[in-house]
Amino acid sequence: MPYELPPLPYDYDALEPTIDEQTMRIHHGKHHQAYVDNLNKAIAGTEFDGHPIESLLGGLLDTVPEDKQAAVRNNGGGHANHSLFWQIMKPGGGGEPTGDLAAAINDLWGDTDSLKTAMNDGGVKRFGSGWTWLVWDGTGLSLYSTPNQDSPLMQDDVPLLGIDVWEHAYYLSYQNRRPDYLSAWWNVVNWDEVGKRFDEARAS
Ligand code: MN3
């Protein structure tokens, strides 16, 4: 069973003006599609065909044959990261987290704005391409950034919220102004989805 590009849960222009329609079309239809296609190519005919992407990147990556490991890491990571990314954004997003997630964030960072500042800082400082993450590390919330398409799943953490800081995610509207993109991105965050993932991660 090959991996498939998940449909975008809203229209390509739904996140404007924060993220422009053309960026969304290329990002989802070309970049994400390419990760899916190249992942399928890498594992076609191997025993790893058909594993849920979470287990492929979590426990199994080290056992993938060496000549396929980089392709699975990069394209499998790209597939997992973007599948999450589309879900944790929504038109008319933003605002504040609620419930247990809000309490956990306030415990660690004091308030949501401080969390945003810390995450954006991780994104700005990530040299080259990568992601800045809020994760569940098994005992609590944690923040870090990863290079390329590396996923928190690769270190057995559960990604709750990740912001793509590859230039393809923002360059058409923001050019070299990555900090402006990161500040604006929070206008489309889907806190309900992040909160749902937090509750699921803690319960498992
Ligand atoms: Mn991307």
Q: Are residues 79 and 34 in the same domain?
A: yes
Residue 75 to residue 153: CA distance in whole angstroms: 14
With CA atoms as reference, report the closest residue to 104 among 141, 71, 75.
Answer: 141
Give the residue from 87, 109, 127 where a domain finishes.
87
Q: Which DSSP letter does residue 89 get?
A: B
**Ligand 1 midpoint to CA 100 (Å):** 29
Range of the domain at 134: 99-203
Q: What local confidence, expressed as pLDDT, does residue 59 receive?
A: 84
Q: What local confidence, expressed as pLDDT, does residue 106 receive?
A: 98
Element spanning 42, H or E: helix 33-43
Q: Are residues 104 and 182 in the same domain?
A: yes
**Ligand 1 midpoint to CA 26 (Å):** 10
CATH number, domain with residue 114: 3.55.40.20
Mean pLDDT computed over 149-174: 98
CATH number, domain with residue 66: 1.10.287.990
**Ligand 1 midpoint to CA 66 (Å):** 25
pTM above 0.75, yes or no: yes
Q: Is residue 143 part of a domain?
A: yes
The yes-or-no verdict on residue 25 having pLDDT over 90 is yes
* Confidence bin at 204 (pLDDT 50/70/90): confident
**Ligand 1 midpoint to CA 81 (Å):** 8
**Count of structural domains within the chain:** 2
Q: Are residues 29 and 69 in the same domain?
A: yes
Q: Is residue 130 part of a domain?
A: yes
Q: What local confidence, expressed as pLDDT, does residue 50 receive?
A: 80
pLDDT in tens, 75-121: 999 999 999 999 999 999 999 999 999 999 999 999 999 999 999 99
Which phi-psi region, left, alpha or beta, contains residue 38 (left: φ > 0; alpha: ψ -120 to 50)? alpha
Q: What local confidence, expressed as pLDDT, does residue 49 receive?
A: 86
Q: Is residue 45 part of a domain?
A: yes
Give the residue from 63, 87, 111 where a domain finishes.
87
Q: Are residues 107 and 189 in the same domain?
A: yes
**Ligand 1 midpoint to CA 117 (Å):** 21
Q: Are residues 167 and 197 in the same domain?
A: yes
Beta strands in 17-157 (DSSP E): 130-136, 141-147
Q: Is residue 9 part of a domain?
A: no
Q: Are residues 128 and 44 in the same domain?
A: no
